[in-house]
Structure 1
Amino acid sequence: MQIHYPDAWPTTAAAAIALQQQLRSQVITTDRLPDPIRHVAGVDAGFEQNGSITRAAVVVLSFPDLQPLDQALARRPTSFPYIPGLLSFREVPTVLEALAQLTITPDLLLCDGQGTAHPRRLGIACHLGLLVDAATIGVAKSRLVGHHRQVPPEKGAWVPLLDGDDTIGAVLRSRPGTKPLYISPGHRISLETALHYVLQCTPKYRLPETTRRADRLASDRKGAQGSKGPEGDNGQLRLW
């Protein structure tokens, strides 16, 4: 995987927001992904030692049968504070280290967090997609911004997530009787195609298999913590 490492990471909220405003115009929300998709990956992160260490996990699965093929784990000191809307600056440096360890390059990355469903349309899935020039999807468990109608109860039902007049994502019922997921394009993929692949990766549980397996790897060390808020996991990382 070709990774475009930045020369430097912002160290203040003002600098991070300015970079998001600069990068948002580079995000592609039309389908420019490999055909066929053979490998999908889940990306997740947790924290250790009261948040001072970031622990990032990537798990690659075959598609469409969703069998695990490759995985990587990276740990490094956390260099950016938790600030709502700026999750990528806290997690992506460690995620890039994990991606660099893979022996199989995924065709599509499903990120535990937002894509375009973000106040500045540059959630972690968008930012990561730009840095690795790959198709990415934001799969979040809670809403960061926007409003929506009630989602019908059956699996596969979805409604648009709106911010004013803009459709910034979708609210998807991935399993009957469970809370919906917030799906949005990250990079090089449309909303409709993102929904298709999320459902294909979610045969049984509320969360896609990519997310479940990456979450397990990211949180399998005693003391790993979750503190993402609505951009990603809402509260403690869970073992599945």
Structure 2
Amino acid sequence: MERTLQICRDRDLDGARALQTELQTYLNDKPIEKPIRMVAGIDTAYSATRAYSAIVVFDIDKGRIAAEYGASEEIIFPYIPGFLSFREFPAIYRAYLKMNEIPDILLFDGHGIAHPRGMGIAAQGGILLDMPSVGCGKSKLCGVYSIPGGKRFDYSELTMNDKVIGLVMRTREKAKPVFLSPGYRFAIDSIPALTGQITGAYRLPLPVHYADRLSKKLKPDA
């Protein structure tokens, strides 16, 4: 954890790339054995100089928000595609430290293993926090796919180098699909069932939708 935060503070791109490569050895897709009840959506909004991260814990059984947490940090690491975790993680970690409601899984706005080095923010965040995680990206970062069918929850596989790295799913009819990929300690085959449980009337699954909304409210100009 401290190494990640130091890389962020130092704006150390070479160190960031090396750490992502090293963390690949920790990846595993072992299915979660217990039922998933609490899902924490995580998203970050920005001002000119600060990142505002929100964590919203969603109770699947009750269909409502169980807890909300937010924090901000100065933006230090530059915006570089593929290294989003180093830009956002300091604020996410500060919000995480406030949590007293422990979720069963983390759902990041961003990618999991659907990443050039298999280490998107959902994968890296899951490893660092030692919690099962999934990524939900709004656009493709890498890989190839066929356009999924037009019905709700139709999906196709996202592949890279002949390996399935995620699913491209239409969560609303006539809406653009989202890019779902496992992060840490979560099986890709479990993504459709989880998404069906936590998706409402919006394009993004509810935990991430609510986190997106909260992160924007945290900004002083909201």
TM-score, length-scaled by structure 2: 0.93
User: Does structure 2 retain, via aligned residues, the 8 Å contact 1:154–1:175?
Assistant: yes
Aligned to 1:16: 16
Does residue 193 (structure 1) correspond to residue 190 (structure 2)? The answer is yes
2-structure distance, mates of 1:55, 1:34: 33
Report if aligned partners of 2:77, 2:87 keep a CA contact under 8 Å in 1: yes
Change in CA separation of 1:14 and 1:39 when aligned onto 2, cut-off 3 Å: same
CA contact (8 A) 1:64 1:200 kept: no
Give the structure 2 partner of residue 100 of structure 1: 97
Question: Which residue does the alignment assign to 2:166?
Answer: 169
| 1:129–1:186 CA contact under 8 A, matched in 2 | yes
How many percent identity over aligned positions?
Answer: 34
SS at match of 1:184: strand
Gaps of 5+ in 2: none
* RMSD of aligned alpha carbons: 1.5
Structure 2 CA distance for aligned equivalents of residues 88 and 125 of structure 1: 8
Distance 1:99 1:187 in 2: 17
Counterpart amino acid of 1:46? A
Counterpart Cα distance in 1 of 2:42 and 2:84: 13
Alpha-carbon distance, 1:223 to partner = 4.0
Partner residue of 1:78?
A: 75
- Higher helix content, 1 or 2: 2
Unaligned 5+ segments in structure 1 are 225-240
Tell me, yes or no, if the aligned pair for 1:59 and 1:70 is still in contact at 8 Å: yes
Cα distance per residue 1:4-35 (max 9 Å; x no partner): 5547432222111111011012111221x351
Please state if 1:147 is matched with 2:144. yes
Secondary structure (helix, strand or coil) at the match of 1:128 reads helix
**Alignment partners' CA distance in 2, 1:188 and 1:25:** 12
Runs (4+) of structure 1 moved beyond 6 Å? none
Please state how far the C-alpha of 1:181 moved relative to its aligned partner. 0.5
Q: When the two structures are aligned, how many residues end up with a matched partner?
A: 218
Match of 1:36 in 2: 35
Kindly provide the CA deviation profile for residues 105-141 of structure 1, in whole angstroms up to 9, marking residues without a partner as x. 1111110000000000000000110011111100011
